Structure 1
Amino acid sequence: MLCSARALARRAGVLGSSQARWAGPTQRCARLQARPCQGFSTSSSRPAPLPPVVWLVLRPISKFMAVLFGRAYRKWWRALPHDKRAVFKESVQRNRKRIIVVSTAVAGLSLHYYVSHLQTTPVTGRTRFVAFTPEQFDKISQEGFDQMIEEHGASVLPAGHEAYDAVVRVANRLLAANADLDEVHDKDWSVTVVDDEDLVNAYVLPCGKIFVFTGMLEFCTSDDQLGCVLGHEMAHSLLGHGGERFSRAHLIDLMLILPLAAIWAFLPNDGISAFAHWFFRTTVGLLADMPHSRELETEADEVGLRLAAKGCFDVREASAFWAKMALRREMEDGVSPEWLSTHPADEARRESIDRQVPDLQRTRDLCQCAPLPDRDPRAEFEQFRQRLLEEKAAARALMATPLTKPDAARSGG
């Protein structure tokens, strides 16, 4: 029988008290006044958002009701005699002013709700729509944490394990170096390491729960690479990307109610309507959902690199990490087009990081970090990559060499 989530959480290891939470290297840069992006902006007060449970219920119900209403309208209209259709059209024409007034009022209230829930993103100062308070979404993510702990069960490594200690060491170093950021203190940070060598993944829940799989630890060749990875994942949590994604998905679904109802109301049959529904929703995903997700990933890359630079990690290792990830994908399952992915292409991320390295080095200098070593991990990995490609090309050439047929006379004797 599996132990409870709370017991497993104790095994996962909470960076508990304030003393333990900020244990780590002495913070050497309290606040970089020359870089306004290092500070956090606060949003103006706004009306209390709807409880998350309301949004959770509204999302599936709204789409279901749109389909039901559209189908019901189509059947009703087809069964309606032509004379009654004319009466209905006359009624709509006669009450068009009332319809316009009601529609304008609904649109105005919707716009007011949207504007009243705009807030400023910490660090970057970007304006976004968020329907939840941080406390509400932290509660949701805490429930998700309990479920994940239950799911992984005995695979959670205990405190004191070598892999666990490595993650805690890197996480504490990041937290200590960025303790000047207000949002860092609002999270209940903890570390959970899951023994799964096949899964190269790490993530941080909105409430500050850090999950790292041993496959990621094996893939990262140094604390610097792990620091850049955790910096990226912590940035997602500090920037509130989870609540933003959740809010935006629900907002888009509510905006699609009328178009979906129209698809099921005016297309000739259920088969065509179902295909149009799928095509419409897929198009929205490609043109709205995925680009926004890639923007959030890019934002987390930029902020996460600054967190790592303040922690005196070698940020060049982030470029080497993504070059290595690109090579891995290329050799295993090929590379998908970026526009079909929720994440930027690995090569695009590597190039973006390389452009930021000079600025990040200045951040390290302001934090009085030790100079970077002369060896450049990017150059080292590129040399390794070239050798690997040369060996692969040689192996292909060998396989393509035709076999020499044995001499017939010699073989016949």
Structure 2
Amino acid sequence: MALLCGSLFRSCHFSLLSSHLIGNLRVCTRAVYPQSSWRNTISTSVRLRASLTGRTTSYQIYSKATAPLPCGPVLTPCGHYFHTSARLRALPAPLIWMIIKPLQKIMAIILGRSIRKWWVALPDKRQQLVRKYAWQKRWQIAGGAGVAIMIVAIFLLTHLDESPLTGRTRLLVFSKENYMEMAALTSDAYMEEYAELLVPVTDPRHQVVKWVVQHLAQRNKDIPEVNDISWTVHVVQSPSVNAFVLPNGNVFMFTGMLEAIADVHQLTIILGHEMAHALLGHAAEQASMSHVLELLSVVLLIAIWAMCPHDSLSMLGHWVQGKLRELLFQRPFSRKLEAEADQVGLQLAAKACADVRAGPVFWQQMELRDQLSGEPTLPEWLSTHPSHRNRVAQLDRLIPEALELRERCVCPALPATDPRDVFSKSVRVLLKNTRE
């Protein structure tokens, strides 16, 4: 296995992709801007190192972003859009919810234990009277429960929204304006946390990420949500293989992710995926789902702590309901949003003229990287993200549509060599050499 790892780091099959990227970008910029407009353009040499190849490749990144080519909108915008709002004096609703969230569970535990202690302290005759009274009032109790269910149903129905770009019906209990306030607070917290780790804006790594983000935004200007967000790039010096975009457009890219990326095509697809999360409002959607589940679980917690005869059993029931909620609702919902961001992000990258075939290759690289590092891999049903293998399969299904979209956007032709075939062949050859 160590020999295989060393062989992979010495291979150089991705150099063709790198040189092709430079050609594509130059053809795109010449097609959009007259030659004379580039007299004062400043270029920056950017170096990215592929995690599996170990080969450092330089990219010539122009500081002037290309304008969107004349291709019609393929992702139909619908529903309401995120937009930046003025600062509110009141605390945003999501922040209030985060403050009272732990108090809800504490109050549920206290109320449930109080009911149980009250019931245990009652004499047998009083308990029989209470049961008899509850049976006599069963229809009134059932009616009250029905009214409560109707109120919850009306609340949920009146907070349904249509997801932009995909048209999927979703639940949003927080206004987007208020959630943008929460995003600003989150952004400030991250900026404070990473203050000493941010690479300078003059760093080539920052420049390449900034260029790709601007390129994606320019090429997708036909999408209203893209224009509503002000995109800001931050590159964090950290070995963590991570990247994320906040709802207010703050992009955080970790240098560990840049080390894991083989070329700018993959970088464009990864950033397209993260930008899709912001465009689709996934953070607000996840917070809404979590909020509703928390409120509904309060009723269940009260029942658990009231009905279990001992605190130890109540604690066990409390833990079980939390895990079931997480495994049956929250994590599958998170995987669903990740798959949606993969789909929309691939379309954003296609309109930016990236080689979308590099998307599945990235996740194959990540799967191989995990295997070589010996890191334990969680089953998909325990994870918040789809497995690398399932992401490869989904992206492979989406590639034909993305290639058609890329062609409609008048992008330069791709080379006949498919990077997926190159990667698969490279792995087979290296495995064969290792066995020998």
TM-score over 0.5 for the pair: yes
Tell me the amino acid that sits aligned with residue 149 of structure 1. Answer: M
Question: Which residue of structure 1 aligns with residue 219 of structure 2?
Answer: 177
Cα deviation code 1:139-167 (max 9, x no counterpart):
11111111111111221112121001100
Asked if the contact 1:141/1:207 (under 8 Å) is kept, the reply is yes
Question: Which residue of structure 1 aligns with residue 325 of structure 2?
Answer: 284
Q: Which moved more, 1:311-320 or 1:92-101?
A: 92-101
Instruction: Calculate the TM-score normalised by the size of structure 2.
Output: 0.80
Asked if the contact 1:263/1:273 (under 8 Å) is kept, the reply is yes
Instruction: Give unpaired runs (5+ residues) of structure 1.
Output: 1-21, 45-49, 395-413
- For residues 168 and 189 of structure 1, the distance between their equivalents in structure 2, rounded to whole angstroms, comes to 9
Asked if the contact 1:156/1:192 (under 8 Å) is kept, the reply is yes
Asked if the contact 2:212/2:268 (under 8 Å) is kept, the reply is yes
Asked if the contact 1:117/1:129 (under 8 Å) is kept, the reply is yes
Question: Which residue of structure 1 aligns with residue 40 of structure 2?
Answer: none
Question: Which residue of structure 2 aligns with residue 316 of structure 1?
Answer: 357
- 1:393 Cα deviation after fit: 4.3
Q: Which moved more, 1:384-393 or 1:359-368?
A: 384-393
- For residues 236 and 53 of structure 1, the distance between their equivalents in structure 2, rounded to whole angstroms, comes to 20
Asked if the contact 1:29/1:177 (under 8 Å) is kept, the reply is no
Secondary structure, aligned partner of 1:216: helix
- 1:190 Cα deviation after fit: 0.2
Match of 1:208 among 249, 252, 272: 249
Q: Is 2:99 the counterpart of 1:62?
A: no
Query: What is the number of residues matched between the two proteins?
Result: 364
Instruction: Give unpaired runs (5+ residues) of structure 2.
Output: 1-62, 82-91
- For residues 144 and 23 of structure 1, the distance between their equivalents in structure 2, rounded to whole angstroms, comes to 30
Secondary structure, aligned partner of 1:210: strand
Question: Which residue of structure 2 aligns with residue 367 of structure 1?
Answer: 409
Asked if the contact 2:79/2:167 (under 8 Å) is kept, the reply is no
Secondary structure, aligned partner of 2:109: helix
Change in CA separation of 1:392 and 1:338 when aligned onto 2, cut-off 3 Å = farther
- For residues 327 and 278 of structure 2, the distance between their equivalents in structure 1, rounded to whole angstroms, comes to 25
- For residues 381 and 430 of structure 2, the distance between their equivalents in structure 1, rounded to whole angstroms, comes to 28
Question: Which residue of structure 1 aligns with residue 419 of structure 2?
Answer: 377
Q: Which moved more, 1:98-107 or 1:232-241?
A: 98-107
Question: Which residue of structure 2 aligns with residue 85 of structure 1?
Answer: 127
- 1:23 Cα deviation after fit: 5.5
- For residues 401 and 101 of structure 2, the distance between their equivalents in structure 1, rounded to whole angstroms, comes to 43
Secondary structure, aligned partner of 1:343: coil
Asked if the contact 2:109/2:305 (under 8 Å) is kept, the reply is yes
- For residues 66 and 41 of structure 1, the distance between their equivalents in structure 2, rounded to whole angstroms, comes to 40
Cα deviation code 1:254-277 (max 9, x no counterpart):
111222111111112111111121
Question: Which residue of structure 2 aligns with residue 403 of structure 1?
Answer: none
Q: Is 2:319 the counterpart of 1:264?
A: no
- 1:247 Cα deviation after fit: 0.8
Question: Which residue of structure 2 aligns with residue 232 of structure 1?
Answer: 273
Question: Which residue of structure 2 aligns with residue 150 of structure 1?
Answer: 192
Asked if the contact 1:178/1:184 (under 8 Å) is kept, the reply is yes
Asked if the contact 1:193/1:214 (under 8 Å) is kept, the reply is yes
- For residues 257 and 148 of structure 1, the distance between their equivalents in structure 2, rounded to whole angstroms, comes to 31
Question: Which residue of structure 2 aligns with residue 116 of structure 1?
Answer: 158
Instruction: Calculate the TM-score normalised by the size of structure 1.
Output: 0.84
Q: Using the aligned pairs only, state the percent identity.
A: 37
Question: Which residue of structure 2 aligns with residue 24 of structure 1?
Answer: 65
- 1:104 Cα deviation after fit: 2.4
Change in CA separation of 1:106 and 1:219 when aligned onto 2, cut-off 3 Å = same
Question: Which residue of structure 2 aligns with residue 330 of structure 1?
Answer: 371
Tell me the amino acid that sits aligned with residue 142 of structure 1. Answer: A
Change in CA separation of 1:161 and 1:112 when aligned onto 2, cut-off 3 Å = same
Cα deviation code 1:73-93 (max 9, x no counterpart):
111111110011112122223
Asked if the contact 1:220/1:226 (under 8 Å) is kept, the reply is yes
Asked if the contact 2:71/2:408 (under 8 Å) is kept, the reply is no
Asked if the contact 1:29/1:310 (under 8 Å) is kept, the reply is no
- For residues 266 and 158 of structure 1, the distance between their equivalents in structure 2, rounded to whole angstroms, comes to 59
Q: Which moved more, 1:308-317 or 1:256-265?
A: 256-265
Question: Which residue of structure 2 aligns with residue 16 of structure 1?
Answer: none
- For residues 369 and 66 of structure 2, the distance between their equivalents in structure 1, rounded to whole angstroms, comes to 34
Asked if the contact 1:137/1:243 (under 8 Å) is kept, the reply is yes
After TM superposition, list the pairs within 5 Å mapping 1:212-223 onto structure 2.
212-223=253-264
- For residues 338 and 367 of structure 2, the distance between their equivalents in structure 1, rounded to whole angstroms, comes to 16
Secondary structure, aligned partner of 1:153: coil
Question: Which residue of structure 1 aligns with residue 79 of structure 2?
Answer: 42
- 1:30 Cα deviation after fit: 4.3
Cα deviation code 1:285-319 (max 9, x no counterpart):
11111111100000000000000000000011111
Asked if the contact 2:71/2:410 (under 8 Å) is kept, the reply is no
Secondary structure, aligned partner of 1:131: coil
Change in CA separation of 1:163 and 1:43 when aligned onto 2, cut-off 3 Å = closer
Asked if the contact 2:93/2:179 (under 8 Å) is kept, the reply is no
Cα-Cα RMSD: 1.9
Q: Is 2:385 the counterpart of 1:343?
A: yes
Match of 1:241 among 265, 270, 282: 282
Tell me the amino acid that sits aligned with residue 290 of structure 1. Answer: R
- 1:389 Cα deviation after fit: 3.2
- For residues 239 and 180 of structure 1, the distance between their equivalents in structure 2, rounded to whole angstroms, comes to 15
- For residues 180 and 264 of structure 2, the distance between their equivalents in structure 1, rounded to whole angstroms, comes to 28
